[in-house]
Amino acid sequence: MNPEYKEIFDQRGGSYHAAMKSFPQARRAEFEALFSKNPCRSGDVIVDVPAGGAYLLDHLPHDIRYFPREITPGFSEDATLVEWDGDWNAPPADHVVTCAAAHHFDDHASVIDRALGALRPGGVLHLADVDLASPVGGFLDGFVGVHTPTGHDGNFLPAKGDAFYQNFDIPRHETVRVPWTFRSLDDAGKFCIGLFGLQIDDGAMVIDALREHGIDVFETSDSTVIDWRLTYIDIINT
Ligand SMILES: C[S@@+](CC[C@H](N)C(=O)[O-])C[C@H]1O[C@@H](n2cnc3c(N)ncnc32)[C@H](O)[C@@H]1O
């Protein structure tokens, strides 16, 4: 694990949390895509770690058992805090979700091993994160890094086909369009400033930067869309 990143979210988790609470539907597609190939079923146990402020909950069916676990106290005083290597205090899971977090860890193999260890046999780890060489990775390490006091230097997961994955049972490994949606360009800019903890107050700067990094931002008749993409990797606990 990279302790610096833990410190980063101790500092900017509150701003991230406020952005997620102000725009709770913005990342809906990102959360729904987690389960598109290996869906959750009635009564399933889902452990979401690190969960931030448990944002996934709003996008899950009501009849599942949801256990959000967070590493840093920075997001919300309501979060259930755990050590990554410690006891997660949850029953054996049908699904473990690690969303938008793997690039914050130094050692991906131990992250995956720990998460697989929390699953029942046959359970699924859903890893969703930014692709190594994608425009999103360039935007985070570039613009976000420059405009946050803590910087951004992602340790992105290896690319599909890398030998790193050869000993895992991976029924799904794909990069998916998961558009972030807003009512207006202004809202899109505000969300990004809050989520990434940017030290700027001009939302138009973020929109320009997204486009410069090759991430489309466009308006439809009723919404504004940031063309976000993540890579989704499902790994079975064999
Ligand atoms: C971008 S947030 C994602 C939160 C939530 N999963 C979501 O999708 O909104 C990144 C997460 O990585 C966690 N994190 C950052 N550095 C970490 C570290 N060194 N060890 C463990 N978790 C870390 C943060 O606590 C935070 O929950």
Q: What is the pLDDT of residues 41-68, one digit of tens each?
A: 999 999 999 999 999 999 999 999 999 9
Q: What percent of the chain has pLDDT over 90?
A: 92
CATH number where 109 lies: 3.40.50.150
**Who lines ligand 1 at CB under 6 A?**
1-3, 5-6, 9, 50-52, 55, 70-72, 84, 99-101, 104-105
| CA 86 – CA 168 distance, rounded (Å) | 23
pLDDT at 215 over 60: yes
pLDDT at 217 over 70: yes
196, part of any domain: no
| CA 10 – CA 72 distance, rounded (Å) | 6
pLDDT at 2 over 70: no
Sign of torsion over alpha carbons 185, 189, 190, 192:
positive
If pLDDT is split at 50, 70 and 90, which confidence band does 5 have? low
200, part of any domain: no
- Using CA atoms in the order 161, 180, 81, 36, what is the torsion angle rounded to 10 degrees? -50
204, part of any domain: no
231, part of any domain: yes
**48 is in which domain, residue-wise?**
3-17+26-142+151-179+227-236
138, part of any domain: yes
210, part of any domain: no
Whether the pTM exceeds 0.85: the reply is yes
> How far does the centroid of ligand 1 lie from the alpha carbon of residue 196, in Å?
12
185, part of any domain: no
Q: Which residues on neighbouring strands pair with residue 70, listed in sequence order?
A: 81
> How far does the centroid of ligand 1 lie from the alpha carbon of residue 100, in Å?
7
> How far does the centroid of ligand 1 lie from the alpha carbon of residue 101, in Å?
5
50, part of any domain: yes
- How many independent structural domains does the chain possess? 1
pLDDT at 132 over 90: no
pLDDT at 165 over 60: yes
